[in-house]
Amino acid sequence: MGRSIPPLVGSSAASPPRLLRFGESQVVYEQGDVAKSWFEVQTGIARTCRFFPDGDRHVIEFYFPGDVFGLERPWREDTAEAVGALEVHRRDHWAVRPVADNEEARLEAALRSTRDYIYLLGHRSAEQRVAAFLLRLAERTGAKREVAVPMSRADIADHLRLTIHTISRTISGLCRRGLIRLRNPQAVSIIDEPALRRLAGETALTPPVAE
């Protein structure tokens, strides 16, 4: 499944993108900050999260190389952090930004994807969520069989709204049933993709959308 983000417009010659590097869990920007720029992942993975008064964390989305994030204005709706080593291009000027039409398209896509996410959260079991997550991970990273899982169990748990225990148990369960194999905690082999797909449910998730 491809990216549905509209192409960017404007010449970057006007303000060349700056390459920024972040380490494990370093903050790219913080919830509530004034938004002055947006980012494109070069290498590594970024995550956006919201933190709640009760100390709870919600991982909204993961961004992979080529993905764009941090487009929202005027304030950051969420905090962006590096999952492991991360390189991003920062664009400082709003002149270099999706045009208005595309902005609307972007928001619509974001809304649609958010709704699929609500479906995942509201209507699917732990096993279905994990299956769907792995499949999407494979799709998004272009992996066929050997899927890299660079984020921690805690990241996955806070994204799927489960605990690390349930994630771990569920993954073990999928292994036991022969749907996947675990070379190591960060490397999953998909053995029986059709079964995994069946488990995840037909309802494909729409691709993620930058914000």
Partner DNA sequence: CGCGCTTTTGAACTATGTCAACAGAGGTGG
Partner DNA sequence: CCACCTCTGTTGACATAGTTCAAAAGCGCG
Binding site for its own copies (CB under 8 A): 50, 52-54, 56, 58, 60, 72, 77, 100, 103-104, 107-108, 110-112, 114-115, 117-119, 121-123, 161, 201-203
Q: From residue 141 to residue 180, what is the string marking binding to DNA with x (rule CB under 7 A)?
A: -----------xxx------xxxxxxxxx-xx--------
If residue 175 lies in a helix (H) or strand (E), which one and from where to where?
Answer: helix 164-176
Q: Nearest 5 degrees, angle CA 96-CA 71-CA 138?
A: 110
Which of residues 115 and 145 has its CB atom nearest to its own copies in the complex? 115
Which bin fits 150, alpha (ψ -120 to 50), beta or left (φ > 0)? alpha
| Residue 193 binds which entry of its own copies, DNA, none, CB below 5-8 Å type-dependent | none
Are 100 and 9 in contact, with CB atoms under 8 Å apart? no
Distance CA(36)–CA(50), nearest Å, equals 19
| Residue 139 binds which entry of DNA, its own copies, none, CB below 5-8 Å type-dependent | none
Block residue for tokens 């999952």 = 83
Binding footprint of DNA on the chain (CB under 7 A)? 125-127, 152-154, 161-169, 171-172, 182, 184-186
